[in-house]
Amino acid sequence: MLSRRPFAVLFASVAGLSVLATAYALGVRAGQRSVVSVPAPQAVDAPQQPRLDGLDLRLGQFEARLLRLETLGRRLVQLAQLPAQEFNFDSPPAVAPAAPTAAVEQRAQAVGQRIESQDVQLPVVETALISRRMAAVLRPDGRPVDRGVLSSLYGERADPLSGELAQHQGIDIAGGAGTAVVAAAAGVVSAAGWREGYGTVVEITHGNGFVTRYAHAQRSLVVTGQTVRRGQPVALLGDSGRTTGPHLHFEVLRDGRPVDPLALARR
């Protein structure tokens, strides 16, 4: 699964910057109230100048950190393949010079606005990345048997028992009895037991309308309702049901209709 640690760091940084930017804005306003004898808009009392310089320096450090967050945000948008025009991870244009205290306050307000923007956008990017990762985990394009020979393809074929033409709704993989059959994707076991023609069969329901079936098993290793991960053993290859020898009959259905498992794996 996609690690949530990078996003936790991002959101902690954003929250910290938001609090500090607000504190700076309030501190600047407090400084303005205390300097009541300023004779001109561009002048600052000498005792206040070191404090103002310190605020200016620290605010610059936060602006640099926020810039790195915005750069990371743009990279995440690209990684998630999201429409760039729907996100704004660019810094606002520089404001016109103003009186020293006013300039710091304007910068603090600008940082606060940028933080608010990232606070909205970064969770959206995170959700998109997690959704894409989950879709990949749930897509049944894994190999259900590590060792085996593809003995029959999806599509029309001569039935091995009757000899008549029939639609083969999956693929067959021949192998040794007792070979592990694994889940092609993560999901929930929706059926595990005997079914006419299929013999011992395991059925797994995945996301996005996908269902996989593993038939002719020697025995099932899972039970209905169990959650399984991709690559987890769910059955042992066998020759139960209507079959001519040990093999796995593997089907993939999407929205109730069979699809070619090999075509799905090539996408």
What's the DSSP call for residue 182?
A: E
Alpha helices per DSSP H over the chain: 5-34, 49-79, 100-138, 261-266
Domain range list for the chain: 5-138, 149-266
Sign of CA dihedral 111, 114, 119, 125: negative
Q: What is the pLDDT of residues 24-45, one digit of tens each?
A: 444 444 444 443 343 444 444 5
Q: What is the pLDDT of residues 88-109, one digit of tens each?
A: 777 555 454 455 667 777 777 8
**0.75 exceeded by the pTM?**
no
CA distance 216 to 199: 5
Q: Indicate the burial class of 25 (C-beta count within 10 angstroms; 0-12, 13-18, 19 or more).
A: buried
CA distance 250 to 120: 44
Assigned fold of 149-266: Glucose Permease (Domain IIA) (2.70.70)
> Which residues 6+ apart lie within 8 Å of 46 measured at CB?
none
